[in-house]
Structure 1
Amino acid sequence: MEKKDVNEPLLLSAAEQSRGSAVSLTSSIGDADIGPISGVGDFAREFNVESKKLWSLAGPAILTCVSQYSLGAVTQVFAGHISTLSLAAVSIENSVISGFSFGIMLGMGSALETLCGQAFGAGKLSMLGLYLQRSWVILHATAIVLCLMYVFATPFLAFIGQTPNISRAAGLFSLYMIPQLFAYALNFPASKFLQSQSKMAVMAVISAAALVLHALFSWVAVAILRWGLEGLAVALNGSWWFIAVGQIVYILCGTCGEAWTGLSWEAFHHLWSFVRLSLASAVMLCLEIWYFMALVLFAGYLKNAEVSVAALSICMNILGWAAMVAIGFNAAVSVRVSNELGANHPRTAKFSLVVAVISSTMIGVGISAVLLIFRERYPEFFTDDKEVRTVVRDLTPMLALSIVINNAQPVLSGVAVGAGWQAVVAYVNVACYYLFGIPLGMILGHKLGFGVMGIWSGMLMGTVIQSLVLTWMIQKTNWEKEATMAEDRIRQWGGHSDSKENILT
C-alpha cells in the first residue's frame, strides 16, 4: 500500500466520523460551538452546563493527584519510625533527587495533553496511540539519562551542602529508587493518554488502590519484616509500578477502542518535533515546581534559619495539599480546551477557561477562609514548638493569599498546555519567576530585613505577574486561529495508521 504524505489532510470515512462523534459525545464535547451569551440567565445556564463537564474530569483528577502526592508522604511517615537519619534520607531523596526527576518526566509527558487532547477532539482517534508510543520512547530515553543522577546522588548531595551521613543514606535510597524512574516513564504518558479521553475515573481508582496498598505494605515492611529503608523502597517502587501497569492493562484490554490499535513503527517517526514539545512542556512545568521549592532553600540562609525553615515547611505542606485541587482543575481545563479546539469549538474552549478559573478560585477562597478563622489553632497540629507556631500564625495571611492566587494560576497554565503554548510560557516563567520574583524576594527578605515574609512576598509577586501575563495572552488570543492551528498540528504529526505498520494489533 502506498504511504500517504504526513502533511496530507487526514480524511475520515463516514464510519470513522460516526465513531468519532460517538466518542466525542461520551467525553462531553458538544456537537456545536457555544453561542453568544447575553444576560445573566444565559451565563448562569451555560456556567452550570460547563461546570458539570469540568467537575466530571476535575473530581477524579483531584483524587488521583492527592493519592499519588500521598505516596511519598506515607513513605516519609514510616521512615520517621525507623530513625531520624532514615527520615532525612527519604525526605531529601523525595524532594531533591526524585522531585527533580518527577518534574522533568511529568513535564515531558504533559506534551500529550496538547496532542492527544486535540486529536481526540478532532475525532482522529488512531493518532492517540501513536502519540502515546512516541512519548514512551522519549521518556524512557530520558529516564536512562536521569539514572546518572540517582547513581551519583551521594556526591551531588554532598556538593550542595548536605552532611556526609545524610548524603550517604539518601544516595543509597536513591539507588533503590531507580525502578520508580522507569515507572514514571510508563505512567505519565499513559495518564495523559487516558486523561485526553476523559477516562479519569479509572485513573482515580487505580491511584487510590495504590495508596491503600502502599500504606499496608509499608507497615508490613517496617513494623513486621523490619526491612528498613530497603523495605520502604520496595513498597514505593511497587506502588508506582502498580499504577503504571494498571493503566497499561486497562489500555490493552480494548477499553479505548480505536485510540489503541497496537504497537506501530510509526512511533519512531517525527520524534524530533515531539521531543521539542516535550522539552518545552518539561521546562514550563519544572520552572513552576522548582520556584516554591527555592523558597524553603532561601529561608535556610536567614539568621534564625531553623525556625524559619520549620515554619515555612508547614506552610508549604498546606499549600501543596491545597494545590491538588488546582492541579485537578489544571488537568480538567487542559482536556476541555484541547478537546474543544480539536473539535473546532473555540468559543466553548474560552468559556471553559472562565468557568474553571472562577470555580478553582472560589475553592481557594474557601480554604483560605478556614485557615484564617482557625489561624490560632491549626499550627498546633504540626508542631509543639511555640516559636514555630507563632511564625506560622504570622505567615497565615500570606499563606491564604498564596492559596487563592495559586488556585487560579495552574488553571491558566492548563489552558496553555491545552493550546500548545508551552514554549512561550516557559519564557514567561523564566522572566516572571527567576528574573523578577526571586530577586525581589531576596531584596525584601535579606537586604531590607523582612525575613521569610519578605522572601515569600517577592516570590508571590512573581506568580501574580505571571498570572497577569497569561491572562493577557488568553485575552488577546484569536481562538478561531488556535482551532485552525490545532487542526494543522494534528495533520502534520499524524502519520498514517496502515495496518502493515503495526507490530502488534
Structure 2
Amino acid sequence: MNPVRYGRLHCLVSWLVFPRLGVWLLGEDENIAQSAGYASFWFIPFICSFVFLMTNQMFLQAQQKNQIIAWLSILQFTIHVPLSWFLVNLLNLGTAGAIGALGISSWLVVFGEFVYIFGGFCPESWTGFTTAAFKDLWPMVKLSVSSGVMLCLELWYNAVLVLIAGHMKNAEISISAFSICANISLWVLMITLGFFGAAIVRVANELGRGDAKAVKFSIKVILTISFLIGLFFWSTCLIFGKNIGYLFSEEKEVAEAVSDLSVLLSFSILFNSIYPILSGVAVGAGLQGTVAFITLFCYYIIGIPIGALLGYGAGLQVKGIWIGMICGVIAQTVSLSYMTWRTDWDEQVTKAEQRLKRWYLKSSTESNPISDHT
C-alpha cells in the first residue's frame, strides 16, 4: 500500500476513534499527520487501561492501601525501562515499541491490582460480586459521567493547543518545542496528581465521617504541600530554562524555542500545583459537574481563543498559544478557589450523610453502621 495513503487511512480511523488525532483531516503537516495516525493505534491499549487503573486506585486509596499502589508502580517502572529499550533499540520498533512498552507495563499494574483486590487482601470492602452493585446506579452513573467529562475537557485542552501549534510556521519545530515543554509540565503534574488523588480520598472520607473542620484542614495541608513543591520546580525551571531543551533534542532551533518558552513553562508548573488539588477537593465532595462547566468555560471560551488570537493574530506563534493556555489555567484556578472558599462544608457533610444512609450496605458483623459514620 502507498505509504502516504496508508498514513491517511491511519489518520482517518484514528479520527473516528479519538477525535483529537484527526490532525490530517484538519490540515496538519503531512509528516505530522502520518506519525500521529500511526501512533494512535498503539495508544489504544494504553488508554483503555485507564478505565480499570483509575477505578482500582481510587478503590484502594479510599482504604488507605497506598503501599500496594506504590509497589506496583515501582514494579511498572522497573519493567517499563528495559522493555522500552528492548523494543525500541533491539527490535527497532521505534515509536510503536515505546508506546507498546507503555501499554504492556500499564496493564501489568491493572492485573496486579485485580489480583490484590480479588485475592482476598481487601476483606472488609470486597466480599465478592453481588446484585447490590446495581442498587441506585443512576446517581453513580451521573457522577461517573461528570467526572469523565471533567477529565476529558482537561486532557483535550492540551491536545487542541498542540493541534493549533501544528499550523504555525515551522510546524515540526513548533510542535517539538511545545511537546517538550508540555512533557516537562506533565512530569511535574504527575506529582500533583498524587495530591489530587489524596484530596479526593481525604475530603470524601472526612465528609463521610461528618467532620467539616477536618475537611478544611485537609484542604489547607494538601494545597500547601503541593504549592511548595510547585515553587521548587518553578524556580528550577527559571534557573535552568535556557539549557533544558538540550535534554530532549540536539537541534539548536528546537532548544532555542524551548528556551523561549521556559519562563511561561515555569509559571504553568506553578499553577499546575494548585488547580489539580482544588479539582480533587471538588471531586471528593461530588461536585464534578460544576468543575466540568468551569473547565469548559475557562479552557475553551477563554484559553483557546486567546491562544489562537495571540499565536496567529499577534504573530507570537507558539508563545502566544502557551500564554493562552496559562490564561485558561489561571481562570480555572481562580474559579475553583472561589468555589472552594464559598462552599458550605457543613452542608456538604449533611449531603454526605444522606448519601451514606442511602447507599451504605450493612454487613453481617454490624448492628447499626450508620451511627458509626454520622
Q: TM-score scaled to structure 1, two decimals? A: 0.64
Matched residue, 1:5? none
Asked whether 1:416 is paired with 2:286, we answer: no
Matched residue, 1:373? 239
Partner amino acid for 1:367?
F
Matched residue, 1:145? none
* Contact kept in structure 1, 2:53 and 2:109, CA below 8 Å: yes
Matched residue, 1:287? 153
* Contact kept in structure 2, 1:281 and 1:423, CA below 8 Å: yes
Matched residue, 2:191? 325
Counterpart of 1:485 (choices 322, 338, 351) is 351
Counterpart of 1:296 (choices 150, 154, 162) is 162
Cα 1:220/1:379, change in 2 over 3 Å: closer
The structural deviation recorded for 1:171 is 5.8
Partner amino acid for 2:17?
M
The structural deviation recorded for 1:454 is 2.0
Cα 1:252/1:213, change in 2 over 3 Å: same
Matched residue, 1:149? 17
Aligned pairs for 1:241-320 (under 5 A) are 241-320=107-186
The structural deviation recorded for 1:215 is 2.8
Structure possessing the higher relative contact order (Cα contacts under 8 Å, 6 or more residues apart): 1
* Residue-by-residue CA offset, 1:162-185 (whole Å, 9 max, x unaligned): 678887786676556655455433
Partner amino acid for 2:313?
K
Partner amino acid for 2:263?
P
Partner amino acid for 2:195?
F
The structural deviation recorded for 1:397 is 1.1
The structural deviation recorded for 1:368 is 1.4
The structural deviation recorded for 1:263 is 0.7
The Cα RMSD (Å) is 3.2
Counterpart of 2:67 (choices 201, 204, 208) is 201
Counterpart of 1:334 (choices 190, 200, 220) is 200
* Residue-by-residue CA offset, 1:367-396 (whole Å, 9 max, x unaligned): 111121122322222222223222222211
Q: TM-score scaled to structure 2, two decimals? A: 0.84
Aligned pairs for 1:84-95 (under 5 A) are none
* Residue-by-residue CA offset, 1:184-234 (whole Å, 9 max, x unaligned): 333321111001112112111112212222333344445556777886676
Partner amino acid for 1:202?
I
Q: Distance in 1 between matches of 2:94 and 2:309?
A: 44
The structural deviation recorded for 1:235 is 4.3
* Residue-by-residue CA offset, 1:52-87 (whole Å, 9 max, x unaligned): xxxxxxxxxxxxxxxxxxxxxxxxxxxxxxxxx9xx
Q: Distance in 1 between matches of 2:97 and 2:260?
A: 40
Q: Distance in 2 between matches of 1:424 and 1:242?
A: 34
Q: Distance in 2 between matches of 1:456 and 1:179?
A: 30
* Contact kept in structure 1, 2:32 and 2:172, CA below 8 Å: no
Partner amino acid for 1:324?
M
Q: Distance in 2 between matches of 1:333 and 1:434?
A: 26
Cα 1:233/1:472, change in 2 over 3 Å: closer
* Contact kept in structure 2, 1:340 and 1:349, CA below 8 Å: yes
Q: Distance in 2 between matches of 1:236 and 1:386?
A: 29
Any idea what SS the aligned residue of 2:273 has? helix
Q: Distance in 2 between matches of 1:372 and 1:209?
A: 33
Partner amino acid for 2:181?
C
Asked whether 1:454 is paired with 2:320, we answer: yes
Asked whether 1:436 is paired with 2:302, we answer: yes
Q: Distance in 2 between matches of 1:284 and 1:488?
A: 25
* Contact kept in structure 1, 2:20 and 2:156, CA below 8 Å: no
Q: Distance in 2 between matches of 1:307 and 1:183?
A: 31
Counterpart of 2:271 (choices 385, 388, 405) is 405
Cα 1:323/1:263, change in 2 over 3 Å: same
Counterpart of 1:361 (choices 214, 224, 227) is 227
Count residues with an aligned counterpart: 357
